Amino acid sequence: SRRFHLSARSCHRLMKVARRIADFAGEERITAEHLAEAVQFRLEG
């Protein structure tokens, strides 16, 4: 979270988005790719 200057709340939101991405992909676990995609959404939005 320090690298992207995220608060605890922002980090939690990012994890929730990554969880949804993993769910859509049919994955049980969140991967680095899911997190990267969630970060990309944050940077674009």
pLDDT mean values, one per 10 residues, the chain (45 residues): 80 96 98 96 80
State residue 1's pLDDT score.
Answer: 58
Q: Which domain holds residue 28?
A: 8-44
In three-state secondary structure terms, 43 is: helix
Q: What is the pLDDT of residue 2?
A: 65
> Which amino acid, residue 29?
R
Contact present, 19 and 38 (Cβ < 8 Å)? no
Q: What is the tally of structural domains in the chain?
A: 1
Alpha-helix residue ranges (DSSP H) falling in the chain: 8-24, 32-44
What are the structure tokens assigned to 18, written together?
């990554």
Q: Is residue 2 part of a domain?
A: no
Q: What is the pLDDT of residue 28?
A: 98
3-state secondary structure of 4: coil
